[in-house]
Amino acid sequence: MGNKKRKAPSKGKTTNRNRKEPSYWIIVAVIGIAFIIGFGIKIAFFPDQSPSSTARIQETSARADEDLKGRILLVASEFRCACDGCGELPLIECECDMPRGALEEKRFIRKKLEKGLSVEQVIQLVEKKYAHKII
């Protein structure tokens, strides 16, 4: 009963206890580090490959502002300045700051267009309020 012999491990073979297998955590860490380094290289050497969301928002905002300016000029081209002090210049050209002047009228037009009214609706409102339509 007590005479069982153990086999001595052979020198050329490894046992399960002595065999080192790579840990999955080490593999994940190496892949993660490689990803971070690659991302850093992309940012460092190719910064302008795609526009950032801020740039896209600014570009969209600039286009919307240009569209609004165009619609303001479209409405303004239908009227003369209503101040009676500048010789009734076309509203599109006049920049007077008198009461009922060009700046006041253009602010009125801008506010109405920003509220979402159409160009035709704003033309009617300006004609009703300032009554200096070009014939």
Rounded Cα distance, 39 and 37, in Å: 5
CB burial readout 46-64, b (16+ within 10 A) else e: eeeeeeeeeeeeeeeeeee
Q: What is the pLDDT of residues 93-126, one digit of tens each?
A: 989 888 888 999 999 999 999 999 999 999 999 9
Indicate the average pLDDT of the chain: 81
pTM: 0.56
Handedness of CA 55, 61, 66, 69 (dihedral sign): negative
Looking at residue 129, its pLDDT comes to 92
Look up the CATH architecture of domain 64-130.
Orthogonal Bundle (1.10)
In the chain, the percentage of residues whose pLDDT exceeds 90 is 32
